[in-house]
Structure 1
């Protein structure tokens, strides 16, 4: 550090810690929604074709909220944007509690959508960790914030059974109870951000670097044009989107598949037991998504962004192979879901780092918001399409579509690595 450049390392450590604690708490909400949202939709509508409806609503809302949250961050800083997202997600948890009480599919979709806004805020938290990070540690800091969601996200599905018991004690339907924990997690996350995210990382980075705020009302078209001018940014966004759509499609159909396996085997499980099994499997998947994020960050910094992005495709391919070919086995489906989480983790950490450093600083928040918007939209399409594919081609069909998607991205990454071997992009 020079005499005129402040040492921001203590500030960066505090920011990463604050973002991590908020992720830990808010992860409970999305974990429960992912685990039982599809079952709630089937129960309220009576049709498996709507199994992906909650995940679709969550993904659409995350997509639509990404740019407004990015715009709010540009105007008011990361703190205000992230707090707003988690605050709306808390309202979503209330709606999820009320949906079974009212027997309303519309209220269920509203709850899923508002939880999706919280998901958009959680996604943007990883970029907030890079605002003041040094290039050598950018992947590490981003991955720590992604990793922090592990405890909350893994606990969320495993709180289904105690949540159901709590709901019953309070006179609520069985599926309402788990979202009481979700509501508490979101509210605690808001408080953590309000107290701890000072100074604001984005505003501080601007002040230190003399970077302008850029457009305060970000445009999807403008962001896409900016990304299109940089092949690394484009490839990073494609990798993020593809990994997310495959993960969402396969994961959102897995609870339905596991329930069908129980029925096909003639298992005499209570509904609570079935929910507990599904919650355990989804929690293992979510652990795969987040628990090894620091390892993915280390790989990204040590071996490069492109190599880690390619590793992600290998993991995703193994995931859809295990889950698809082993669709009639709970064990193989579980193995596939864990690998699916690991592949998503490797893709998200490496490609997000690639995107964050592939555009000019004054355009970075815009492109970050666009990447999350496109991710959310693709996830919505994946969830909605997966329900229809499941109804026609079964769980194997869902995984086959995922395999084709992974193969296309792998070809793009390999081609890029080959073209840039003497002048690597990462």
Structure 2
């Protein structure tokens, strides 16, 4: 009969394989995401011959992302992560190809439709983080999420640096230079989808369904109960609020800087630091989420975003340094909220309905980001950038009472019971003689 140690070893090996495959796909998908978004507004401005609609690509990306998050979640729910994520990346690649074709034909209607479909890649890129948590033991889910986010960062850094070379290549083929990065996105999303479809076997979500409900290892006692407290609503609210605040303040910072005489170099520096702060702290955040707890880190996200709002509001108009600090705090607060919120949902959503729930939550996050971007312009136009920043920080504080209540009433692991790690065991061919074997999870 197979021992518990053998079962745990097999599961850890499968989790390592899953993380390696998803990380490889995320490096490519991150490049595709960043390359397209970098020039999307410029391409729209060029083809529409107006600057008033240059923000349309962002709106279309978001709409496509929200719709795809739900579809990818449902596909994953019914057929596994491999099918859902691969289909999402295929749609993103199709959208990228459509943008290239629209640029070649100078067809605005095709451009708008293709940008909407291109948003599928954005949603799938974000949904992939959940695949890293399906087989992770509860006390390592935060680190699993952070691992995926760091892999995305590698691609996101490479993507914008390939904009110029792909533009030159596109011109050589008679395609507008600004459509070139979308050709890169098409290739990158295609490779990401192929990697997942061919190599994400066994499927982590389907494998997780063969396991009994899991709880954290008992070594940490009451600290473990606190660490894994949380609920789906708490995770969703954490991510929605941090997304709204981050997008609102980030979107208006370049506008604020331009209005006060800062050049594009200074603006680019501030935004680059912000993006780095969104992703690079992920390994540390993952450790904190697993060791200190989901709820404390979620609360810290609210406090960090408030600090970001205060610094942004009080920074002198000519101070690039303080604006950089503010945007770094803004990115860090978002990171804390995303990793802790994702871990709460992974803890609380049953494997049978997990993907559908995660897809629905990501729809809310995408729509919240769109709403934050739209509202930020209205608020800043009616008041000022400092007012917008302070309001954003105050809104972020709403995370604290919500997750605090969740910590008291929500799902808590390790309370009054001996915890055990996840196992997947099925009888083997020797069942009649009492034998057992580690199952091969469904593909």
Quote the residue 2:95 is aligned against: 92
Structure 1, unpaired ranges of 5+: 212-229, 268-273
Bigger share in helix: 1
- CA deviation vs aligned residue, 1:298-350 (integer Å, no higher than 9, x gap): 00001000111111122222333344444654444443333222211111111
- 1:181 matched to 2:197: no
Q: Is residue 284 of structure 1 aligned with residue 273 of structure 2?
A: yes
Which residue does 1:125 correspond to in 2?
A: 128
Question: Is the contact made by 2:244 and 2:369 (CA closer than 8 Å) also made in structure 1?
Answer: yes
Q: Is the 8 A contact 2:96 2:186 kept in 1?
A: yes
The 3 A distance-change label for structure 1 pair 346 and 260 is same
Quick one: which of 22, 28, 32 aligns to 1:25?
28
In structure 2, the gaps of 5 or more residues are 215-228, 416-443
Superposed counterparts of 1:220-235, under 5 Å: 232-235=231-234
Alignment size in residue pairs = 395
TM (normalized to structure 1)?
Answer: 0.81
2:195 is aligned with 1:206: no
Contact (CA 8 Å) 2:230, 2:403: kept in 1 or not? no
1:300 corresponds, among 289, 301, 305, to 289
Aligned to 1:2: 4
- What SS is found at the alignment partner of 2:398? helix
Distance in 2 (alpha carbons) for counterparts of 1:346 and 1:322 = 18
Write the mapping of 1:39-78 to structure 2, written as runs, cut at 5 A: 39-41=42-44, 44=48, 46-48=50-52, 50=53, 52-78=55-81
Range moving further from structure 2, 174-183 or 58-67: 174-183
Partner of 1:193: 196
Q: Secondary structure at the match of 2:179?
A: coil
Q: What is the Cα deviation at residue 22 of structure 1?
A: 0.8
Could you say if the C-alpha distance between residues 416 and 190 of structure 1 is closer, same or farther in structure 2, counting changes exceeding 3 Å?
Answer: closer
Q: CA RMSD in A?
A: 3.3
1:58/1:380 contact within 8 Å kept: no
Taking structure 2 as the reference length, the TM-score comes to 0.78
1:132 partner SS? coil
Q: 1:279 to 1:25 in 2, by over 3 A?
A: farther
- The C-alpha deviation readout for 1:30-70, integer Å capped at 9, x for no partner, is 2234444345455536345x454322222222222222212
Cα distance change, pair 109–64 in 1 and its aligned pair in 2 (3 A): same
* Structure of larger gyration radius: 2
Paired residues of 2:43 and 2:179 also in contact (CA < 8 A): no
Write the distance in 2 (CA, Å) between the matches of 1:102 and 1:329: 45
* Native 8 Å contact 1:35 1:255 kept in 2: no
Question: Separation in 2 of the partners of 1:405 and 1:200?
Answer: 39
Give the superposition deviation at 1:401: 4.0
